[in-house]
Amino acid sequence: MAYKRILTIQDISCLGQCSLTVALPIISACSHETCILPSAVLSTHTGGFSGYTVNDLSEDFPAIKNHWLKEGISFDAIYTGYLGSTKQIEYVSDIFDSLKRDDAKIIVDPAMADNGKLYWGFDDEYVKGMRFLCSKADIILPNITEACFLTGTEYKETYDNAYVDELISKLKEICNGTIIITGVSYNSDEINVVIADSDTKKVYVHKKISKSFHGTGDIFSSAFVGAYMQDKSMFDAVKIASNYTVECIENTIDDESHWYGTKFETAIPSLVRMLEL
């Protein structure tokens, strides 16, 4: 069993089951040392809540990085999620260069858009910064919308395999590593996760659940990172992360009071069994 030190950089939504509040427990459940660098602290996530508080922690990044350098701290993997500004992207790029071990994996989830739209507060300059960050990654995990923004491709709600192949081709011009596009849907029954590197393309298909939940992208990415760093193959890590995410949704879908996230905690025993730890 592998035991790796993984740094994840994203925000803390104190309530909402997304970002660091899922990444930390999920990656830890995969038997890794999980270190965190919070990009911001929010009272809740921004989807469906009003009046939430936000404390941007960007200016803490340089001092934290310098302290870690002084202590000789480095990481086997660095995984980024939601980053709040182009300034944070610049700081994170510097952290990639300074704190990763020689064989470390850089995994970027360009969490900036969904359903054809950028998240609130993001603009073309942010997309440009995220494109640069993806260029430094070994693995990127965009959804269809994020893939479109990264490549300057028109977003379509209905598309075919050729459209996805075009996105992959354009993403390969940005990232020399592995591209994993989530949320690829050609029909109402199935979701595809497409895995592409320099010379291969594989697809994992799982069932589609019509109801959407906040934070499922973070759940998938965190479970993928945890599984992949346990030396699972890329395809097996995607399979485990997909099946785990579906189970999290299934454990929540009948509880209308739990609209703000998924009960991912209830499926952690299944995740551990899938990992065969």
- Quote the percentage of the chain above a pLDDT of 90: 92
pLDDT in tens, 143-192: 999 999 999 999 999 999 999 999 999 999 999 999 999 999 999 889 99
When pLDDT is cut at 50, 70 and 90, the band that residue 135 belongs to is very high
Mean local confidence (pLDDT), 59-83: 97
d(CA 202, CA 207): 17
User: Could you tell me what percentage of the chain is helix, strand and coil, using 3-state DSSP and rounding each to the nearest 5?
Assistant: 40, 25, 35
The answer to whether 39 touches 67, Cβ cutoff 8 Å, is: no
Neighbours of 216 (CB within 10 A): 23
Neighbours of 183 (CB within 10 A): 21
Task: Give this prediction's pTM.
Answer: 0.96
250: nearest Cα among 217, 216, 204:
216
- Give the start-to-end residue ranges of the domains of the chain: 5-275
Q: Characterise 59 by phi-psi region: left (phi > 0), alpha (psi -120 to 50), beta (else).
A: alpha
pLDDT in tens, 15-40: 999 999 999 999 999 999 999 999 99
pLDDT in tens, 140-154: 999 999 999 999 999
Q: Which helix (H) or strand (E) holds 77?
A: strand 75-80
pLDDT of residue 139: 98
Q: Characterise 103 by phi-psi region: left (phi > 0), alpha (psi -120 to 50), beta (else).
A: alpha
When pLDDT is cut at 50, 70 and 90, the band that residue 254 belongs to is very high
The answer to whether 201 touches 192, Cβ cutoff 8 Å, is: no
The answer to whether 178 touches 195, Cβ cutoff 8 Å, is: yes
The whole-chain average pLDDT of the chain stands at: 96
pLDDT of residue 143: 97
Question: What are the φ/ψ torsions at residue 112 (nearest 5 degrees)?
Answer: -145, -5
Domain 5-275 grouped into CATH 3.40.50.10310: no
212: nearest Cα among 185, 234, 230, 232:
185
Neighbours of 144 (CB within 10 A): 24
CA 124, 13, 232: angle at the middle one, nearest 5? 80
